[in-house]
Structures are given as C-alpha cells and as structure tokens.
Amino acid sequence: MGGYWYYILALGIMIWSFVVQITLQSKAKKGSTMPSNMTANEVVEQMLREHGISGITICHKSGDLTDCYSPRESKIYLSDTTYNQRTVTAVAVAAHECGHAVQDHEGMMIYRVRQFLAPAAGICSNVSVYIVMAGLVVAAIAEHGGDIGYFLCNLGIIVYLVTFLFYLVMLPVERNASSRAYKDMKNSNWVDESDMKYAYKVLRAAGDTYAISLASSALTLFRLVLLRNSVKGRRR
Ligand SMILES: [Zn+2]
C-alpha cells in the first residue's frame, strides 16, 4: 500500500518538477529580452549600500544559473546571463542574491540555521542511504538480524532528518531573499514599473524549484520509512 503511494507521489513530483523547469526557463528567457534601467552589478552595489553593507565584492562566475552569495568569501557571484547585464532577469537574480547578503548581514535566524546545516546536509543524505541499506542486508542475511537491521534503518532515518531539515529551512530562506529583492526593486527604478510583473514571475518560478527540492526530500524520507517497515515484519 505504502509502495503504491510512493510511486504516485514520485510521479507527481516528477511532473511538477518538469512544469516548473519549463516555466522558469521561459520566464527567465522572456525577462532576459527586456531591458532594465541599470546593470545587475550596479543594482547589487546600490542594494548593498542602501542596507549599509560593505566589504562584499561582485565576481563573475561562468555558466548559467551559477549565481550565488558566498558568506565565507564575502562575494556575490553572478553568472554569464547576470554579470554586467542590463535585463529584467539579470536584475531580479542579482537582487535575490543580494537578498541573501542582507539576510546574513541582519543575522536572520533561519538563514543562520540553513548555513549551519548546509555542510552536513549532503553528507547525511549519502550516509543515511548506506546505513539503511546495511540495515536491510543485515536483516536479510544475518540470523536474528531483524532487530539490528531495524535499529540501523531507524538510525539511517534519523541521519536523513538532518538533510530534510535543511530543505525545510531552505524554502523560507529563498522565498524571503526573493521578497526582499522584489521589495527593493519596487522601491527603486531598476526596472520599469510595467516590467515588474516579469521580475516577479522569474523570482516566483526560481523559488518553486526549492519547493520541489523539499518535496523530493520528503519523498526520500517516506521511502526510507517504507524500507524500514519492510524489516519490521521480519523482526523476531
Ligand atoms: Zn537564493
């Protein structure tokens, strides 16, 4: 029964992910044909200045969608389609990354939690799968291995919760960076008023990709629980 639901949900998330990717690409493309009143770099400089932030450098990072804020290096990386570009998409993306710098500067709690969890999230994601797999193997081959297998599966689930928590925290952090970007864009003249709805659509679609990451992570958690429950039946 659980396995049946797993496949239904997996299919649903796959379709949703496909729709969001297409939407994001088309909105970003549309916005990149619309000129803005300032370049992405000028927008970052002004936004940082207005929030009283200094000491952050803007760097170019080759590739598409490679934009990010690195608190460790105090750098904002802008990709090929953003760096020095004068388009609605470039300004929206740059302002979003700058939004992270503002979160960091203000010491926003949820942002700090995300930063704290970030290094562990990837490791825990991999390790948890190995622990659960070990649990399944032990339960299957060792004599009276059911209890140990069940314990290992539970351990793997607990380890995976760190990854799940990371994605859970990431979504509001990303939405908040976008809403800061949108607010500052609205209060300035970086983009014409009539083009703001396109900037909003780009930010909205980019944010949806994090909702998918969260849903996928929840699905993995569900899968691990199903695997654990398959051991349950074999416990003595
Ligand atoms: Zn972001």
Q: Give me ligand 1 centre to Cα 171, in Å.
A: 9
pTM: 0.91
Ligand 1 centre to CA of 174 (Å) is: 5
Q: Give me ligand 1 centre to Cα 100, in Å.
A: 7
Ligand 1 center to 141 CA (angstroms) = 45
pLDDT at 1 over 70: no
Distance 198 CA to ligand 1 centre (A): 18
What percentage of the chain exceeds 90 in pLDDT?
89
Range of the domain at 65: 2-235
Q: What is the pLDDT of residues 18-51, one digit of tens each?
A: 999 999 999 999 999 999 999 999 999 999 999 9
Ligand 1 center from residue 96 Cα (angstroms):
6
Does residue 136 contact residue 149 with C-beta atoms inside 8 Å? yes
pLDDT, average across residues 59-74: 92
Q: Give kind and range of the element (H or E) at residue 219.
A: helix 196-232
Q: How confident is the model at residue 65 (pLDDT cuts 50, 70, 90)?
A: confident
> Radius of gyration over alpha carbons of the chain, in Å?
22
pLDDT computed for residue 176 by the predictor:
97
| Res 236 pLDDT > 60 | no
Q: How far is the centre of ligand 1, averaged over its atoms, from the C-alpha of 145 (Å)?
A: 45
pLDDT of residue 82: 95
One DSSP character per residue, 51-101 reads TT--S-EEEE--SSS--EEETTTTEEEE-TTTTT--BHHHHHHHHHHHHHH
Number of folded domains in the chain? 1
